[in-house]
Amino acid sequence: MSRAEKTPAVLTIRMDANLTRSLAREARRRRKTKSEVAREILAAGLGMEQVDLVAQEARRQSLLVGRRRSEREALEFIEQAADTLRSQ
């Protein structure tokens, strides 16, 4: 395993009840685990933001929207309209 790869580590942080609730609320909002959110916050605080966080969030939202029936219908309509315009 090269150093560039992720290596497992354990970090224990004692948090008060307010901080625990805030972390849980943020994790629910982001639809991630508390550990994932805590890692992202810690990395951002240390200036080690992951470059692909924006891409990950865009992918997450794309997958959520793609499951909606209304969105599939809209995409089908757009594809049909594009095909009609292209064939004229």
Q: Mean pLDDT: which of 1-10, 45-54, 63-72 is highest?
A: 63-72
Q: Mean pLDDT over residues 52-79, rounded?
A: 81
Higher-confidence residue of 62 and 6: namely: 62
pTM of the model: 0.46
> How remote is the C-alpha of 45 from its chain's centroid?
18
Q: Which residue has the tokens 């969105």?
A: 71
**Stretch 57-68: mean pLDDT, rounded?**
83
Tokens standing for residue 74: 């809209």
pLDDT of residue 5: 62
Q: Which amino acid, residue 38? A: A
pLDDT band at 1 (very low <50, low <70, confident <90, very high): very low
pLDDT of residue 43: 80
CA distance 47 to 68: 36
Instruction: Give, as one character, the DSSP assignment of residue 25.
Output: H
**Cα separation of 34 and 53, whole Å?**
16
